[in-house]
Chains A and B, each alone.
Chain A
């Protein structure tokens, strides 16, 4: 464990990423305190450029404060991304574990499904799903989870297939442990590092997906999100650049930070690979 922290600390990008993520999280947590008004309230004149009085980042076409929107948007976007990633990790691990551990017919069917999901245009699938089931927090999470689980399932499956024949697993089988117990206590605990590495990257792509859905107007109508602010002011881009630029920067910075953390985790958990990459 000490080794891990040491390796992670050596990765400057990872540290920067963590700091940025902490700042975004603090902004999300303190949104209500920093900006007491609701992000939907019209608090100012419309079309105020940034650095105006009482509107640091300007106001939108109706006079809603952009900075307030970004702070509250951080809440929605982060929660949605984390919950949907948690769901898809749960599904991905379960499906991958079953497929890799049992093999045979079950495996064939599951691999067929994974391939199906990786062939069809995922973003389209998410759009169709949310549009027809009507946009709510629940359908957005469902859609993001539905298109994000297959790569992880594939990863976990490969891990389980290689672990299955290792001696300690064979020993557990011989000692008469149940399959469920072997899966949970023997194999899963030893194959978590690829899952941990994919975690931040999956949250990052969930944020991108969620923003794209909200941009198209497919977010929950009661949830202020970064993508929504950009989508709502897209048509006035020529006259009011700040309405699109700042929320976009928020997305970019957050996703970039998550990618950096993911990379640092990868290097820390796979030291051999890291050394090879820099040589």
Chain B
């Protein structure tokens, strides 16, 4: 127990260090950019008035020397004060927290999709290795691996919304229907389907390959031969012995995937008009509202760091053989 506590403490320190580095990066990026930092933060398109820019300068001490500015910036960040969006007339932190649940819903759904579909396809491919079923699955995985995320989204819209008209292509729920309860859940789920599949497709391919490769490897190990030799049915051998061990490398990838999911959400939410932080970042990009953009980047990093922390903990619980270092 003590070991786990010490391990956790170290991990938390490390996570805070990562966030600190990102805050530093944001700070120096704005100062490395051509132009006045206050005007960059205010949005360069001329919407910000002189009075507001003056206020920004004071708030962030932009007329002070760089080290003083840095301290003031870090103090703001430490209490999650990410600045104020003049364009949207709201604090950046509030904007982000309002949009975050939609992104989490999207990311979790696509993670579940990627994992379930990927593992299922990987198992099927491994069981049919060398036959045409395997070829079909490996080809699908290869295509999913090589297709740009945003383009997959557009093509799915073209097929399932424009041609077949099965699923909605845009937004979080139907506008102007005032659905409640279960009907609303169904409505949101229908809107969620295409973005979640788009976002999950790449990792579905990753999981398919991983599961297939590790099933093929483990299938040849001695303990599997033993299981067969003692007369277990093929089904039991696969589920109890092969699959259980084949899934370990798959879990390792779950932590890495968090960063990709959040990055991909930026594209997917843009394509599907999904009201999450990715969409917020894109709007900020178009409007040059850079304090929002930097704020979303910081928030996205927090999410990734937290997810990594959770997978680390789960991992040590799931597999006690892993060293806590």
Contacts and interface: CB of A to CB of B under 8 A. Distances in A.
Interface size of A as a range = 35 or more
Interface stretch (B52-60, B85-93, B257-265): B257-265
**Which DSSP category, helix, strand, loop or mixed, fits chain B's interface?**
helix
Given A116-B21, A230-B150, A256-B143, A215 B162 contact: no
Contact of B162 (A131, A237, A252): A237
Given A127-B281, A132-B290, A234-B271, A244 B33 contact: no
Interface string A87-123: 0000000000000000000000000000010111111
A113 to B, nearest CB: 9
A259 B146 contact: yes
A259 to B, nearest CB: 5
B293 A237 contact: no
B34 interface: yes
B114 interface: no
Contacts of A255: 146-148
Interface string B301-325: 1001100100000000000000000
Contacts, number: 134
Contact of A212 (B148, B154, B157): B148
Nearest to A218: B285
Given A124-B296, A212-B150, 20 more contacts: A120-B304, A122-B259, A124-B297, A124-B301, A125-B25, A127-B266, A127-B285, A129-B29, A132-B30, A212-B148, A216-B270, A216-B285, A230-B150, A234-B154, A234-B271, A244-B151, A248-B147, A252-B151, A256-B146, A276-B217
15 contacts: A121-B301, A123-B267, A124-B263, A124-B281, A124-B296, A125-B25, A127-B293, A208-B148, A212-B148, A215-B148, A216-B285, A234-B271, A237-B157, A248-B148, A252-B147
Give the top 9 A-B pairs by smallest Cβ distance, nearest first.
A123-B263, A248-B151, A256-B146, A255-B146, A121-B259, A121-B263, A121-B262, A132-B33, A128-B297
Interface of A: 116, 118-125, 127-129, 131-134, 204, 208, 211-212, 215-218, 227, 230-231, 234, 237-238, 241, 244-245, 248, 251-252, 255-256, 259, 276-277
